[in-house]
Structure 1
Amino acid sequence: MLPFLLLASRAEDAAADDEYDAYLRYGGLEERELRRVRLEAAPLPDLDLADYSGVIVGGSPFTSSDPPEGKSAVQHRVERELSGLLDRLVARDFPFLGACYGVGTLGTHQGAVIDRTYGEPLGGVEIELTDAGLEDPVLKGMPRSFTAFTGHKEACTALPAHAVLLARSAACPVHMFRIRTNLYATQFHPELDVDGLITRIDIYRNAGYFPPESAEDLMENARQFTVTEPMKVLRNFVDRYAR
């Protein structure tokens, strides 16, 4: 099997490694089947798409809708590299799955409105599939409504006409969409279970995402949820596109 490519941009090793392990576990992949490139550490190398089954973009501390002057040099580089890669992926309708940061990257590339109108706090949310979502093969076997973990400052306010809306929540109108046949983006985290969220809360408690003193409450809140369905997105994506 050709490997999948995971493009990561979390600077903290513990968070990056936990994310990678989650994609392995829920994608049903061995390490040789998921190559990781950490974009925050070095420029994106030259890629021959013929070497890969598909491309996955993980979560990120970067926010696409930040003003240019508020972005670091690393963020500007990562955005340029992802935009150039998406030029190639969209032209070929090459399998792509962007999780959380995928909405900002693929959405911006395709002309969606990405802003801070529909942010959601860290925790569990109820996701509802659209009729198109229920019919999509990457959402195969999933109920119309399920719980997923999310937490984001920005979101998609409006999709371009050629995009297909697949999922939403009460507070966020776009939680998953598709471009062409094979390119997907989710706002919720398909790799994140209860233990994973608790790990991230602990790692990021002093990173400015939330008041440090609220970390224990956020962890306790996470334990109130049962999150099992979103991971099917990863396994369905792998099963559909592995070659």
Structure 2
Amino acid sequence: MMATPTILELRHAECESPGAYGAGLVDVASIHTVRAWRDPIPDDPAPYAAIIVMGGPMGTDDGPSIPWIDDEIALLRRAIAAGTPIWGACLGSQLLASALGAEITTGPAPEMGIVDITLTDDGLHDPVWSGHGDTTFPALQWHFDTFAVPEGATLLASSAAYPNQLFRHGSCYGIQFHLEVDAVVLEDWLAVDDYRTELIDLLGTDGVAHTVEEMSRIEGVTVPLAMSAIRRWFDLFVA
């Protein structure tokens, strides 16, 4: 019997768990979670079959005040060189892009709430994302920064406000949007004062209630898509 692969999860805020991504892997992989704010970042990617890099409120240029940011980018560079598959969500996509040498910048305006994501022609033919069937799907957005598409990577999806939403570089995927979040996870986010304040500042109190309502409405699409996409990534590149 083959051993169960161990996937390293790099978490940057307790509430930003793998969510539906973890559910998509629960029966095929063991996930080892490193909480970056308290656990040392591993030096060597070799013990892990793949790496999942989650979101968080910090940025890729926060290394001077948050030293583990630079440690994590260095780990991702070593993982890329070793051919380790990486799945990066939101901040994770920006850390992955930075490790690949791409520029990370603050966007013209925050992108928060439920937003339509549209696959590019390459996205429609991508082995992980082509199975969805629809060109456009809804997802939660919650970001201030954005990545340039790394050299050698392929852009797979865009939104109206931010053209760079999803890229593939070999067996590595950077996903700006939060497909892993369902209504329960969103409520966990909103229980954190800083997160709730950010959303109120941008969308108002009514906007918060609307986002929760919309999340409940779309999770029947987003959760199965998150689970199936990460499972296809696992089957193609990790297993």
Equivalent pair of 1:201/1:219 in contact (CA under 8 Å):
no
Unaligned runs of 5+ in 1: none
Question: Match of 2:187?
Answer: 198
What letter corresponds to residue 149 of structure 1 in structure 2?
L
Q: 2: distance between equivalents of 1:196 and 1:32?
A: 22
Equivalent pair of 1:4/1:54 in contact (CA under 8 Å):
yes
1:24 aligns with 2:22: yes
Distance change (3 Å), C-alpha of 1:160 and 1:241: closer
1:60 aligns with 2:59: no
Q: 2: distance between equivalents of 1:32 and 1:237?
A: 12
In the TM superposition, residue 207 of structure 1 has moved relative to its aligned partner by 6.7
Q: 1: distance between equivalents of 2:108 and 2:168?
A: 19
Matching of residues 173-212 of structure 1 within 5 Å: 173-179=163-169, 181-205=170-194, 208-211=197-200
- What is the TM-score normalised by the length of structure 2? 0.83
What letter corresponds to residue 155 of structure 1 in structure 2?
T
In the TM superposition, residue 216 of structure 1 has moved relative to its aligned partner by 6.0
Question: Match of 2:212?
Answer: 222
Distance change (3 Å), C-alpha of 1:196 and 1:112: same
What letter corresponds to residue 41 of structure 2 in structure 1?
L
Distance change (3 Å), C-alpha of 1:137 and 1:216: same
Equivalent pair of 2:19/2:181 in contact (CA under 8 Å):
no
What letter corresponds to residue 7 of structure 2 in structure 1?
F
Give the one of 132, 135, 140 matched to 1:149.
Answer: 140
Unaligned runs of 5+ in 2: none
Q: 2: distance between equivalents of 1:98 and 1:138?
A: 14
- What is the TM-score normalised by the length of structure 1? 0.82
Q: 1: distance between equivalents of 2:56 and 2:181?
A: 14
1:7 aligns with 2:10: yes
Question: Match of 2:39?
Answer: 42
1:78 aligns with 2:75: no
| 91-100 vs 226-235, which moves further | 226-235
Give the one of 104, 115, 119 matched to 1:114.
Answer: 104
Q: 2: distance between equivalents of 1:106 and 1:194?
A: 27
What letter corresponds to residue 167 of structure 2 in structure 1?
F
Q: What secondary structure sits across from 1:154 in the alignment?
A: strand
Equivalent pair of 2:45/2:78 in contact (CA under 8 Å):
no
What letter corresponds to residue 38 of structure 2 in structure 1?
A
In the TM superposition, residue 235 of structure 1 has moved relative to its aligned partner by 2.5
In the TM superposition, residue 57 of structure 1 has moved relative to its aligned partner by 0.3
Distance change (3 Å), C-alpha of 1:31 and 1:90: closer
Distance change (3 Å), C-alpha of 1:118 and 1:184: farther
Equivalent pair of 1:202/1:215 in contact (CA under 8 Å):
no
In the TM superposition, residue 120 of structure 1 has moved relative to its aligned partner by 3.6
Equivalent pair of 2:59/2:145 in contact (CA under 8 Å):
yes
What letter corresponds to residue 33 of structure 1 in structure 2?
S
Equivalent pair of 1:53/1:95 in contact (CA under 8 Å):
yes
